[in-house]
Amino acid sequence: MTRTLGLVLHHHRPEALELAKRALHWCGSKVGARMPTIDAEMIGRPELAIDESEFGSDLDACLSLGGDGTMLRSAALVAEYGVPILGVNAGHLGYLSEIDPDHMEVALERWLSGELRLEHRMMVEVFDSRGDLIGRALNEAVVDRDESGRAVDVAVSIDSKPFITFLADGLIVATPTGSTAYSLSAGGPIVEPDFRTLLLTPVAAHTVFNRPMVLSPTTEVKLKIEGYRSAVVSLDGRPVRTLEPGESVTCRTSKVSATFLVSGERDFHQVLKEKFGIADR
């Protein structure tokens, strides 16, 4: 039976478009291919286009051509279907895209022959006050100020118990994968990606207690907007909901995981050293 490969592109990197053409040439007649509509149109292959809402269904793998942002988009499209993602780094050094562009075809052959292993990454999911799912994130869910220059009051409850109200630019609920993203820039800890935890990181908090917290993966974190200013909920950088004063969201570990195809040759600590320019002594 022919396998089907989904392709997701970085929209602003010409090298990602060239990689997509190479990948489709590799697919030939042995592997079926599909792309989200906008991606297919960008490389002039409208016959491969499918709506994003249906993209992840019945895929055998997803090829992400870009950087970490493209990997996050890929996860948003396919994680709920259990589709594994193979990341080709077509930009700056990333934490998530493992494959060098020169080795893409080799990696695809290894996927086809079953030589790559699966790596599962924890996700966070967010619910509104009615208990309806707003969405999931691989890196982080953020409740952020709606107005530039204006802090927002966010009351935090942990496992249904009131904890503290932050006056801050925002609050981040991050996964271990997201510990090297926005949470890190806000002062949060770096956590190995196979660890299971939720990180609660305030952004520019105007409170005496302004430290990040490492929480159990079973913890539920409720964020309620106090005062008179609204806030915005974002998932992996995508704004998804405006919260008015009195409204809340609840964040918890998702039952859905993102799955990566990896060769086992890349070391997380070595990537950290490269990212931060840490030299051996």
**Which pLDDT tens digit goes with each residue over 70-104?**
999 999 999 999 999 999 998 665 678 889 999 99
Q: Is pLDDT at 116 greater than 90 in this prediction?
A: yes
CA 60 vs. chain centroid, Å, equals: 20
Query: Are 111 and 42 a contacting pair, CB within 8 Å?
Result: no
Residue among 212, 233, 230 at smallest CA distance from 222: 233
H or E stretch at 191:
none
**At the topology level of CATH, where does 124-253 sit?**
Tumour Suppressor Smad4 (2.60.200)
Q: Which two tokens stand for residue 248?
A: 């809340």
Tokens 């409740």 label which residue? 143
What does the pLDDT average to over 243-253?
97
Separation CA 63–CA 24 (nearest Å): 11
Query: Are 256 and 80 a contacting pair, CB within 8 Å?
Result: yes
DSSP 99: B
Per annotation, catalytic residue among 68, 144, 169, 236: 68
In the chain, pLDDT over 90 holds for what percent of residues? 86
- Range list for CATH 3.40.50.10330 in the chain: 3-121+257-276
Separation CA 90–CA 260 (nearest Å): 17
Question: pLDDT by residue (tens digit) across 176-196?
Answer: 999 999 999 999 999 999 999
pLDDT of amino acid 277: 75
pTM, full prediction = 0.94
Q: Which two tokens stand for residue 272?
A: 């950290």
pLDDT of amino acid 94: 67
Q: Which two tokens stand for residue 39?
A: 């991606």
280 in catalytic set: no
pLDDT band at 269 (very low <50, low <70, confident <90, very high): confident
pLDDT of amino acid 281: 66
Query: Are 6 and 78 a contacting pair, CB within 8 Å?
Result: yes
Q: Is pLDDT at 279 greater than 80 in this prediction?
A: no
- Range list for CATH 2.60.200.30 in the chain: 124-253
What does the pLDDT average to over 165-178?
97
CATH number of 3-121+257-276: 3.40.50.10330
